[in-house]
Structure 1
Amino acid sequence: MGIITLWVDASSTNYLDINKSVSASNNSYLIKNVNIIPMYQDTMLVDKMVYINDGVIKKIEDSIEVSDIEVFDGEHKYLTPGLIDMHVHVWDRYELGLYLSNGVTAVRNLWGMPLHLRIKEDVVEESIFSPSFFTTGPKLTGSEFIGDDNLNLTNPKEAEEAVISYKERGYDFIKTYYGLDKALFDAVIEQAQISEMDIVAHPSQKVPFLYHLNTQIKSIEHAEEIVQQPLQFDLDTLKLQPIIDSISQSNHTSYSPTITVFHNIYQMMMDDSILDSEALQYMNPLIKMDDSKRQFERWYNAKQEDPSTADRIKKQHDFHLTIVKKLHEAGVPIICGTDGGIGVTLPGFSIHKELAFYKEAGLSNYEVLKTATVNASQTHAIMKQLGTIEEGKVANLLLVDENPLTNLTTLENPTYVFIKGRKLNRKTLDSFNEKAKNRKNLIATGLRYVENLIIEK
């Protein structure tokens, strides 16, 4: 029965199969009449031609002559690098289409399971339409942080073996989480260096916050962790500044604030009907039934018990914007991450909220765009071919109606999304949304989650 359920669910996402799409199978052509936002500097290249061959940008010039090739008219619209969401939780393949429809052409999944290794394999083999896909292994925690969503480590030897195993199985990165004490953390860091695996750190409360500035750790997650750990919920900018300075002085650490997922706590307290909203129809049904419901009830009840809770959460959110502003002013690379796929944080759609928060924090449009393009691509060596429009880079691109340097909202509805050079038009992208809406794959998602528990526990 389980095998049949999984087969039916896989068949329901065959609209993402590249070999079944005649119109989007071509990944070599010439784009003409296009304005380019290259993102390696704050500029626009006007009325250019772009030659893409086998999914890679080969030439950008005023005029290019290539024989026997499709010519695509950019109609004087704006070509930008595709967006990169550096903190997502993917639960099914429907979500891959949701990311693409919102202009997200690369994701970093931070809760690895066997499902993600299969997705990664299909993406590498270019058999499905998907954002470029990178994933950590399961979250590494200490022995006391119990939960079926992570791997509990009890001694340094286990930590070493976990890192080695994740490398062998094909995971790209290591994710550290709550509960790692110094001995465990040191073992993870040491083996990650040996195995040449970057670490993504959700800060552990068992070590000092600044312990996460080790050179093997390429990004720290969540602005709220600065509030909760070193600041101990004291929203004091004077106490914040030394922390910001220390992060800045590390010279190698990016920060992913994930403003949206925390702000959604406030949204849940303000909207009693959020679980029944049309937007939540795009969430994976198992997550909506379990995680979304539990989070809503937690914060709804907190507000009932103490009405001032909503105001406290809003003040902390506002302080997160201050953190983003201070990080930016200190020269810390900010990378856009949403925590999409959990709670009420929608996959794909949420990136536009996240970017809007960075704008509200005081970043210019160009600086906002950097967080989801060049900054993100520079975080890990295996992502360096993304993030800008330059010769030799992968053709993960968006064609939008307006200049995003003056209007960020144009990114919400790209006319075309190019994934490794293959064009997806707006009609196709909208169909990806419709396919994912109210999908009936609760049992299939549960089976894949059980598979993970059997393998990891």
Structure 2
Amino acid sequence: MKIVKRILKIVLALIGSLVLIGIITLWIDASRTNYLEINKNASVSHNSYLIKNVNIIPMNQDTVLVNKMVYIKEGIIKKIDDTIEMKGIEIFDAENKYLTPGLIDMHVHVWDRYELGLYLSNGVTAIRNLWGMPMHLRIKEDIIEENIFAPSFFTTGPKLTGSEFIGDDNLNLNNPSEAKDKVISYKERGYDFIKTYYGLDKEVFDAVISQAKISEMDIVAHPSQKVPFSYHLNTQIKSIEHAEEIVQQPLQFDLDTSKLQPIIDSISQSKHTRYSPTITVFNNIYQMMMDDSILDSESLKFMNPLIKMDDSKRQFERWHTAKQEDPSTIDRIKKQHDFHLTIVKKLHEAGVTIICGTDGGIGVTLPGFSIHKELAFYKEAGLSNYEVLKTATVNASQSHAMMNQHGTVEEGKIANLLLVDENPFVKLSSLKNPIYVFVKGRKLNRETLDSFKEKAKNRKNLVATALRYLENLVIEK
């Protein structure tokens, strides 16, 4: 008995030591992102002032409002006019630059707080996180409380998946009762949306949709192959993700535009449905096959180290092997990417509302940077600069009621804005390096934004990320 007690004490001591080490690791990682903290007493935190000499890209109409003034009070756009007379308030001279809504990425996967700075540095002032974990609820709370500089943050709960899709990234549902319980739980805990994923059969899917309606939670759908593709046009489902899912499911990899058109027509007839193509993440398969050194590239230094070590590496090895076994795979992937551009073109021509999403944060799809690549693909698909910019501003903001205060430069909207050198209707790439990013009215200059990039580069938080993911497995599984 004494030996058993001694062993138990040793085990408990080891567990205690590991817990302490884990707490210290997470504390150190948190302290390394304190550069995002808002000092509400410092001048940089001021969110009430008057902007003068500014050309406005309002995005509620295809126009430029020339040489305007904008009054921002406590982070809200209060007035836009030719002349605004106010005394005792800071005046910010925009020097005839262009003021646009901040960009919105509607499909991301956030792994740490460093990425919040990466999004801001690329002009992304709102994100929709589509794989919710407990850490995201803490991030969301800090952003709502205005404790940190970050994009406005909206998140689904964990991915709801059919029973046979086993994996630590899936929340497997086995019956309708379990499905309803999960939706209720996610609502109570503070998740914003429900994400449906592979493998949901009709019975379970119906339960998710029914309870989501009762709980007043919008659904974001990664299509399930267990129901017809048209099933995802339900009014509770606010957006469908990935152009590649049209190829994989209803088309069964047949890249035939005549077979595509009826699918496009069915989506367009569902007036509420928005589509998020996420062309970039699929194109990155092609990039991985074309560049054998991509994992060692300068750009990959901005990926979370755990994701880079695990997901990025596994995806690269999968497609590198596929290329070696069958060199024609490269051409097949490139043709499918080109077909995705056709899908975007057809969706747009049919009047389907396209929303910009990148799948940033997984594989080799960089947080923040990738939105500019995604927008460029929409341009290549035939959209005008105004139509392209709509996908990442007003279209995105109208997807969910809770996002309606974003997406346009209008009185009453949140002052999440960009100040750029050139008119993006003429030069879309001017959005890549905004001179200023405004977060609820607080101004971040280019020097600060560049520092956010540098802080995120080559970060050493692999263990901290693993611990937060372990927390997710313990709580959610």
Please state how far the C-alpha of 1:24 moved relative to its aligned partner. 1.7
Please give the TM-score of this superposition, normalised by the length of structure 2: 0.95
Q: How far apart are the structure 2 equivalents of 1:67 and 1:20? A: 22
Alignment root-mean-square deviation, CA? 0.6
Q: Is 1:135 the equivalent of 2:133?
A: no
Please state how far the C-alpha of 1:66 moved relative to its aligned partner. 1.5
- In structure 2, the partner of 1:374 is 394
Q: How far apart are the structure 2 equivalents of 1:191 and 1:37? A: 40
* 3-state SS, counterpart of residue 168 of structure 2: coil
- In structure 1, the partner of 2:410 is 390
Q: Is 1:275 the equivalent of 2:275?
A: no
Correspondent of 2:261 among 233, 238, 241: 241
- In structure 2, the partner of 1:118 is 138
Q: How far apart are the structure 2 equivalents of 1:3 and 1:430? A: 30
- In structure 1, the partner of 2:193 is 173
User: What do the CA deviations read for 1:254-304 (whole angstroms, capped 9, x no partner)?
Assistant: 000000000000000000000000000000000000000000000000000
- In structure 1, the partner of 2:346 is 326
Asked if the contact 2:40/2:46 (under 8 Å) is kept, the reply is no
* 3-state SS, counterpart of residue 263 of structure 1: helix
- In structure 1, the partner of 2:91 is 71
* 3-state SS, counterpart of residue 39 of structure 2: helix
Correspondent of 1:200 among 220, 224, 229: 220
Please state how far the C-alpha of 1:90 moved relative to its aligned partner. 0.1
Asked if the contact 2:71/2:77 (under 8 Å) is kept, the reply is yes
- In structure 1, the partner of 2:252 is 232
Q: How far apart are the structure 2 equivalents of 1:379 and 1:331? A: 15
Q: Is 1:295 the equivalent of 2:343?
A: no
Correspondent of 1:162 among 182, 192, 200: 182
User: What do the CA deviations read for 1:203-228 (whole angstroms, capped 9, x no partner)?
Assistant: 00000000000000000000000000
**Greater Cα radius of gyration, structure 1 or 2:** 2
For structure 2, the 5+ residue unaligned runs are 1-20
Please give the TM-score of this superposition, normalised by the length of structure 1: 1.00
- In structure 1, the partner of 2:365 is 345
Q: Is 1:359 the equivalent of 2:382?
A: no
* 3-state SS, counterpart of residue 146 of structure 1: coil
Q: How far apart are the structure 1 equivalents of 2:133 and 2:476? A: 9
* 3-state SS, counterpart of residue 107 of structure 1: strand
Give the percent of matched residue pairs that are identical in Structure 1 and Structure 2: 85
Q: How far apart are the structure 2 equivalents of 1:221 and 1:353? A: 17
User: What do the CA deviations read for 1:103-141 (whole angstroms, capped 9, x no partner)?
Assistant: 000000000001100000001000100000000000000
User: What do the CA deviations read for 1:14-70 (whole angstroms, capped 9, x no partner)?
Assistant: 000002782421000000000000000100000000000000000000000111110
Q: Is 1:47 the equivalent of 2:67?
A: yes
For structure 1, the 5+ residue unaligned runs are none
Correspondent of 1:251 among 265, 271, 274: 271
* 3-state SS, counterpart of residue 53 of structure 2: strand
* 3-state SS, counterpart of residue 107 of structure 2: strand
Q: Is 1:418 the equivalent of 2:438?
A: yes
- In structure 1, the partner of 2:3 is none
Where do 1:8-157 residues align within 5 Å? Answer: 8-19=28-39, 22-157=42-177
Q: How far apart are the structure 1 equivalents of 2:244 and 2:292? A: 24
Asked if the contact 2:106/2:355 (under 8 Å) is kept, the reply is yes
Cα–Cα, structure 1 residues 368 and 21, in superposed 2: closer, same or farther, change >3 Å? Answer: farther
- In structure 2, the partner of 1:316 is 336
Q: How far apart are the structure 1 equivalents of 2:370 and 2:263? A: 28
Please state how far the C-alpha of 1:349 moved relative to its aligned partner. 0.2
* 3-state SS, counterpart of residue 44 of structure 2: coil
Q: Is 1:441 the equivalent of 2:461?
A: yes
Q: How far apart are the structure 1 equivalents of 2:31 and 2:414? A: 29
- In structure 2, the partner of 1:306 is 326
Q: How far apart are the structure 2 equivalents of 1:406 and 1:163? A: 45
Q: How far apart are the structure 2 equivalents of 1:31 and 1:113? A: 39
Q: How far apart are the structure 1 equivalents of 2:342 and 2:225? A: 22
* 3-state SS, counterpart of residue 120 of structure 1: helix
User: What do the CA deviations read for 1:88-109 (whole angstroms, capped 9, x no partner)?
Assistant: 0000000000000000000000
Q: How far apart are the structure 1 equivalents of 2:156 and 2:167? A: 18
